[in-house]
Homo-oligomer: A and B are copies of this chain.
Amino acid sequence: MNYPARTNNQEIELGSTFQPKFGEDGLIPCITQDITTGQVLMFAFMNAESFAHTLKTRKATYWSRSRKKLWVKGEESGNVQWVKEIYTDCDQDVVLVKVEQTGSANASCHNGYKSCFYRKFADLDTAAAGTEYKLATIAERLFDPATVYKKK
């Protein structure tokens, strides 16, 4: 997969041609956001191949660094992310995809939550003081991972 080559800063930052920067590892960070609610669902990486697969199928497709293979989100769980819009940032080294999160559980996280960001700092003051780094779970579980993912 070849995308337009990087030219100069002016073109990259303000131009109208996609000139992505895949890192030395061939990956570009990807933020995935629910197009309706604006909730950030997850963060993962894409390589050129998974980006092309995303464009072609409109199913958000990442590169699994642990499994070293294309990762079509929802392939196993059924919770497919249908890509509606793709953004890039000023220096074109990050992409943001806006999706419709679908599937029976409508969850993007393998732990059964709508978003992977289901925990936040319970108290920023104690964290700032270094006395406690407590996280509060602020979301509801939509499915039980044990029943969705079969053991292999």
List residues of A whose CB falls within 8 A of some B CB.
3-4, 13-18, 29, 31, 33, 37-40, 42-43, 55-56, 58, 83, 85-90, 94, 96, 109-111, 113, 116-122, 124, 127-128, 133-137
Instruction: List, in ascending order, chain B residues with CB within 8 A of A137's CB.
Output: 14, 16
CB-based contact A127/B18 at 8 Å: yes
Among the interface residues A58, A85, A128, which one has the most CB atoms of the partner chain B within 10 A?
Answer: A128
CB-based contact B127/A87 at 8 Å: no
In the bound complex, how far is the Cα of B53 from the Cα of A128, in angstroms? 8
- For A16, give its contact among B18, B56, B111, B136 (CB under 8 Å): B136
Q: Nearest B residue to A84 by beta-carbon distance?
A: B124
Among the interface residues A3, A18, A89, which one has the most CB atoms of the partner chain B within 10 A?
Answer: A89
Give the number of copies in the complex: 2
In the bound complex, how far is the Cα of B37 from the Cα of A96, in angstroms? 16
Can you give 19 contacting A-B residue pairs, CB < 8 Å? A13-B111, A14-B111, A14-B137, A15-B135, A16-B137, A18-B133, A18-B134, A18-B135, A38-B38, A38-B39, A40-B96, A55-B124, A55-B127, A83-B124, A85-B121, A86-B124, A87-B117, A90-B109, A90-B116
CB-based contact A17/B135 at 8 Å: yes
